Amino acid sequence: MSEVRAIGILGGGQLGRMLSVAASRLGLRCHIYEPGAAPAGDVAWRVTTAPYEDTDALRAFADSVDVITYEFENVPTAALDLLESIRPIRPNRRALAVSQDRLTEKTFLNGIGLATAPFADVPTQADLDAAVAAIGRPAILKTRRMGYDGKGQVRISDGPAEWTGAPSVLEGFVDFSAEISVIVARGADGQVAAFDPGLNVHCDGILRTTTVPCGLPAKIVTDAVLIAGRIANALEYVGVLGVELFVTPAGLIVNEIAPRVHNSGHWTQGGCAVDQFEQHIRAVAGLPLGDGRRYADVVMENLIGDDLDRVPDLLKTPNVQVHLYGKGAPRPGRKMGHVNRIAR
């Protein structure tokens, strides 16, 4: 058995909450570090509420655990440097650095032979003008850092292309037929296990549903899994990694990677003996991975904002697993929970 007894988690949102529940089933304790409100705190062993600049709090947090992981990728570098001097961080810093910055991410992906949308670094308005001329329209201007759920993105169609002032990349528009994602895990010993790719539908830039099986030809499914494995191996990754892909007539294009459990992997709670949360805990704790096999067809639907009003009916619906995050008041666009409709 592993020597790990306590896991530190940076970030206290719903992903940290579901990681903590999974860890507790394996007899492990989670300590959450979160500057703001922490839905994960309700179910964790300990919670530290402090800013990422509080070095005393960071030190005490690291001292109390055996290994540190994270549920969101924008933890300040100085905090990570301090924490890493005390305990190992899994997934490793390289995985974080690559996925924190869209320019570094795309450069890395191309470097290991994977296709991305055509892109250009646009640090100034002049670079944006040159990039639009080279890549063509439509295109999407994305901030290099801190973008999620479609935030920090501007579509450039016919009008003038205005630089936002933030370091950004310009991406060519990909005419995809579907969006899929693969949730892959890599253990401390290099063992790799992938879950079946899910078909994702977004609404206003936010994930709405994930469906497994994804209904795509076997070759695409296999290619997607191989791409995810290649990324995990190249990063010497330990933990669960989400890989978002566009399906195009010319093959698969990697949109982005997330060095953590991923919203599009929530279906595994209803479809697999070992779900993505337990898989991540197993990996970072140095335990053997589950095999990732799927035993049911599942449609995961996010409950966003007022969708919460549907919960009484959903609770009465057969074969529906309801997961609520224990957050405060619903707001438009706020993820309040999700459901897994299990078909077999």
Residue 205 binds ligand AMP, judged by CB under 6 A? yes
Site string for ligand AMP, 92-131 (x = CB under 6 A): -------------------------x--------------
52 labeled part of a ligand binding site: no
152 labeled part of a ligand binding site: yes
Cα separation, 256 vs 59, in Å, equals: 32
151 labeled part of a ligand binding site: yes
Residue 76 binds ligand AMP, judged by CB under 6 A? no
Please tell me the count of residues contacting ligand AMP according to CB under 6 A. 13
Choice from 73, 101, 171, 307 touching ligand AMP (CB under 6 A):
171
Q: Is 163 helix (H, G, I), strand (E, B) or coil?
A: coil
Nearest residue (beta carbon) to ligand AMP? 174
Paired sense of beta strands 29-33 and 46-48, if any: parallel
Cα separation, 145 vs 165, in Å, equals: 13
Q: Is 338 helix (H, G, I), strand (E, B) or coil?
A: strand
Q: Within a 10 A sphere around the Cβ of 219, how many other Cβ atoms?
A: 9
The amino acid sitting at 161 is A
**Shortest spacing between CB 168 and ligand AMP, in angstroms:** 12
Q: Within a 10 A sphere around the Cβ of 337, how many other Cβ atoms?
A: 21
Cβ-based nearer residue to ligand AMP, 150 or 326: 150
Angle between helices 77-84 and 93-100 (to 10 degrees): 170
Choice from 202, 208, 293, 331 touching ligand AMP (CB under 6 A):
202
Contacting residues for 82 by C-beta, under 8 A, at least 6 apart = 55, 58, 59, 62
For residue 265, the 8-state DSSP code is: G
Cβ-based nearer residue to ligand AMP, 156 or 289: 156
Choice from 73, 256, 301, 307 touching ligand AMP (CB under 6 A):
256
33 labeled part of a ligand binding site: no
Cβ-based nearer residue to ligand AMP, 33 or 108: 108
Cβ-based nearer residue to ligand AMP, 147 or 330: 147
Choice from 30, 96, 131, 140 touching ligand AMP (CB under 6 A):
140
Q: Within a 10 A sphere around the Cβ of 106, how many other Cβ atoms?
A: 23
**Nearest residue to 265 (alpha-carbon basis) of 210, 185, 319:** 210
Cα separation, 66 vs 235, in Å, equals: 22
Tell me which stretch binds ligand AMP (CB under 6 A): 18-26, 166-174, 277-285, 308-316: 166-174
174 labeled part of a ligand binding site: yes
Choice from 86, 174, 216, 320 touching ligand AMP (CB under 6 A):
174
3 labeled part of a ligand binding site: no
Tell me which stretch binds ligand AMP (CB under 6 A): 31-39, 168-176, 301-309, 315-323: 168-176
Whole-angstrom CA distances from 47 to 28, 36, 42, 299 are 15, 11, 9, 33
Cβ-based nearer residue to ligand AMP, 133 or 201: 201
Q: How far is CA 293 from the centre of its chain?
A: 20
Q: How far is CA 89 from the centre of its chain?
A: 17
How many helices (DSSP H) and strands (DSSP E) are in the chain? 10, 17
Cα separation, 210 vs 180, in Å, equals: 8
302 labeled part of a ligand binding site: no
132 labeled part of a ligand binding site: no
Q: Within a 10 A sphere around the Cβ of 312, how many other Cβ atoms?
A: 8
Cβ-based nearer residue to ligand AMP, 262 or 323: 262
Residues at the annotated binding site?
102, 142, 147-153, 171-174, 179, 202, 255-256
Residues at the annotated binding site for ATP?
102, 142, 147-153, 171-174, 179, 202, 255-256
Binding interface with ligand AMP (CB under 6 A): 117, 140, 147, 150, 171, 173-174, 179, 202, 205, 244, 255-256
